Each structure stands twice: as structure tokens, then as C-alpha cells.
Amino acid sequence: MPTYDFIVVGSGIAGLSYTVKVAQYFQDKQIPIKIALITKTVAEETNTKYAQGGIAAVWDNQDSFEKHMQDTLVAGDFESDAKVVELVVKEAPERLKELISYGTDFDRKSDGSFDLVKEGGHSDKRILHYKDSTGNEIERALLEKVKSFDSVDFFTHYFAVDLITQHHLGEKVTKDTPHKKCFGVYVLNKKTKKVETFIGKTTLLATGGIGQVYQSTTNPTIATGDGIAMAYRAKGFVKGMQFIQFHPTALYQPGKKPNFLISEAVRGHGGILKNLDGSTFMEKYDERLSLAPRDIVARAIDSEMKKNGTDHVYLDTRHIPKEEIMAHFPMIYQYCLDQLGIDMSQEMIPVVPCQHYLCGGIIVNEYSQTNIEHLYAAGECSHTGLHGANRLASNSLLEAIVYAHRAFEKSIGEFGTQTIPEGIPNWNDEGTRNPEEMVLVTEMTRELESIMSNYVGIVRTDRRLKRAYDRLELIYLEHEELYKQSKITVPLCELRNMINVAYLIIKHARAQRENKGLHYNLDLLNA
């Protein structure tokens, strides 16, 4: 079994930027190390790739750290950790300069200055972007950089199954066990269908979001909450799972998953939300109209659709000059034209809210450390305290690079202090057989998505949450029996992780007895 100095699970912005920094540091010091970078499909397929809008940072004298911090706190319904907000906002420009130094392009004006834009919840123009595919551009630059290092072993089509802890050495591990340690990861090689043991002195989880738990999501099919579920099973601490962000404006395409995102930047550029009869409605909900924070806009759209009995609303961009649309939103324009035959300069775009981002996750400190020694987490799978009850637009890519950097700083300081115990066992699947009833996994997955979408969505009630909990318990028991009997497969493991994640979302939502940010329970309105 191979032993690595660093194991990174996930190849989005958090995992890649951490890998680049670690590899560069030891290369400069001429210290030989081995880094394993593990990703479940191809390297490029991550939540980062689908991030359209941009990355927020204070970039000129018109703006200020104080304004960015205040906007973040307001959007988070003052549930954010003020110290975390300050450190992220103040470290943002430096981290962005590093991305630029790696070759990331951001759009510039004719005078060479950055073309900063404004999005919902922001009081100033501070979003750096590359057309309407910023995440894809960042991913491209980071991947090129990572591939330049000989110390990085890239494992594509490998699926992380479970973290290795003292539990695998025969010790009883509970949430209260002191000095829990991570020694690496059991990983399924999708090509050989064998589980391999990756021993690691330091492990970083950068596994992205949980979108596939819902029927409609902008997340790619790989977003099944794997890192959160693995950490939870290893007795890692998790927080804030009730705060699920539903993006107000995904393109309305019934039956399609993932949903195509119509970036918030389109509303930042003047797009107006309208009902099917062409009437505006945001004035009834918020004075900021279509540029109100996402939770308010998503609930407003949900309310209008329920009131009018419609399946979607419209986003009107017909008043924006076509050359501006083509300059800022070429990908969105072409997608709408190719998929629905809609020219967004001439016709309104049908949109609907869908799951977009998780504000909770694995609890980490200011250096991305979890409560399990030598285990770090960064990006959407982590809970830093930045987002509070609702994420401010374009703060997510920013959080990922700031915390990847902080994980790098702390983990190089730990380097050389970790010891790997003898006797870590290989994966044991004796007595199991190849699962014959894959239809059970497919149907359980569909049922799970339905439960979460119908009962744990934008608007909740106590009865809906209890119904979701009771139905999920039946799926859990059915899946556990199948899992114990079967040789593992990716669909079986992904469903296991989604059940864990759904349980945490429901549990945290039932415990939340005040409407804050993204958690909106009708039974709490008069509480």
C-alpha cells in the first residue's frame, strides 16, 4: 500500500490550489515528497468548473474591506463568524493575485483595469470574472500548474470510500474520543473495481457540494456529499446543514439534471424577473428588487409560482443591448439558443429556483483543520463560519482559495511530525457479492431526491420535516442491508453518502427553531 505525504481528495479550486502551494513549497526547498490527488471522474469535472459568476474581492479605492465585510454579514443574516469574515475579505486580494500569477485570465476594460461587476447583495462592483465561465477558467489555469509538478500523482476515476482512523485498527471511536487521527483513505479504483489503501500523513477533503440529494440542482452529477459523509462517519463534526442555498434562476428545462445556471450576474447587469403575464413582482418582496439576496429572491419566485400555479417565471433581458449580452454572457446566450431556441436579446428566459450551494459542512478552524488530527477540509464541503445562514454571491470561490492557503500554511508546519501506525488493514469485503439488484439503488436514489425536494426545500414545515425523517429512515435501513451484503460500487457508495447528508440536513433543519437566511419554516413565522 502506497504512503503519501499529502492526500488531496477533490480537484476543484480548493484541492488544486492547495496542491499547487504544497508542491511548489517543497520543490523550492528541494525536499522530495509525494502528493496523491484523487478525483472520482476526470480532473476537470468539479463544482468549480460550473461557477459562472466570478470571485469577489475589494480591488479599488471606490470599495472597502468594511463594505465587503458588511455585505457578507447582512447576506448571512448575521449568523457568520465576524472574525472569519474579516480574515477572508482582507486576504482576498493576495490570493487572487496568486491565481492571476498561475495564468488565470479575468476580463479587463480597454484601459487594462479589471472589468468589475456587481451581483445581488453587494454594495459595490467587486466581482472579477471571465465572461460567464469564471470557474472553468480558474480550473484550467490551476490544472495546468498542478500538472507541471513531478511530486503529484494524479488519480482520476478513483472514488474515495472511507477515511482511515483508529477505528480500522480495532479501537472504538466515538464523537467524544480524544485525539482522533486520520491515516489516509480507502479508495475504489473504478477501472479495476478494487478498493485500494492510500496511507497519508496529511489528508485534505475538497469534495464539493451535495446537490444530487435534490431533484433539481446546478451541481454536476458527482456532487453527492462524499467528503461530508466520510468525515461524519469518522466522527468529524458537521454544522449548518440546514442552510441550503437555492439559486433563484436556473434555466427551466423539465427533467434535465443538472440544471443550467443563469448567473446572478445577468440580474446584476439589469435582468428583471417577471411573471408569465409580463408583470414584475419583486417590488412586493424587497426594495432591492431583482438584486436582493438569493434566499429572498428564491422564496419570492417560489411564492409567485405557487400563487399563480405556474412551473416557472421569466428573466427579461430584452432591454439590454445584444452586443453587451454577447460580450458578458456568451455561454448563457448560446446555451439558451441551442437548447430552447431562445434569443435572450429578443425573448424572455424561463427560470426556476433549484439547489445550488451548501452553506454548512465539516467544521474547520481558521486553518481548515477538522476535529480529527491530520484531516483538513476546504471549499464547499467545509463549514468555516464565513457564510452564516446564506452565502453572499461570489464569496464561495474566494473562501476556497483563502482556506486552501491556510490549510497549506498549517500542514507544512505539521510536516514530519506525523507517525503512521503499523498494521493498517486493507479493505475487507469477505462474504460480499456483486450487487444483483442495482434497480434497488436507482429507486432508492429517486425516492431520496423526491423526499428532499418535496419536504426539505425552499419552504419547510415541521410536518414535512418529520415526514422526510421517517421516510429516510426506511431508505437507510434498506440500504444498510444491501451495503453489508454487496461488493461496493460507486452508485451504492454515493447513495450511502447521500443518505448520510440528507439525514444531517433534516436533523439540523428540525433543530433550527428560528427562521434565518436560507432556513424558512412556515411553522416558525409566528413563533
> Which residues have a catalytic role annotated?
294
CB atoms within 10 A of CB 167: 17
Q: Is 108 helix (H, G, I), strand (E, B) or coil?
A: strand
* Contact status, residue 159 vs residue 187, Cβ threshold 8 Å: yes
- Both ends of the chain: CA-CA distance in Å? 56
* Contact status, residue 509 vs residue 465, Cβ threshold 8 Å: yes
Residue 428 burial (10 A CB sphere; 0-12, 13-18, 19+)? exposed
For residue 263 the three cell numbers come to 448567473
Measure CA 515 to chain center.
23
Strand blocks (E) in 272-404? 272-274, 313-316, 349-358, 361-363, 375-377, 382-383
CB atoms within 10 A of CB 9: 29
Separation of alpha carbons 185 and 363, rounded Å: 19
For residue 75 the three cell numbers come to 447576506
- Per DSSP bridges, beta strands 194-205 and 3-9 are parallel
* Contact status, residue 151 vs residue 415, Cβ threshold 8 Å: no
461 Cβ contact partners less than 8 Å away, ≥ 6 residues apart:
521, 522, 523
Exposed e or buried b per residue across 464-498, where buried means at least 16 C-beta atoms within 10 angstroms of its C-beta: bbebbbebbeebbeebeebbeebebbbebbbbbbb
The CA R_g of the chain, rounded to the nearest whole Å, is: 22
Separation of alpha carbons 210 and 197, rounded Å: 25
Crossing angle of helices 396-414 and 82-101, in 10° steps, is 90
Of 15, 511, 497, 449, the closest CA to residue 241 belongs to 511
* Contact status, residue 227 vs residue 209, Cβ threshold 8 Å: no
CB atoms within 10 A of CB 64: 15
Of 36, 29, 31, the closest CA to residue 10 belongs to 36
CA dihedral 452, 455, 458, 462 (to 10 degrees): -130
Cα torsion 175, 441, 38, 484: sign = positive
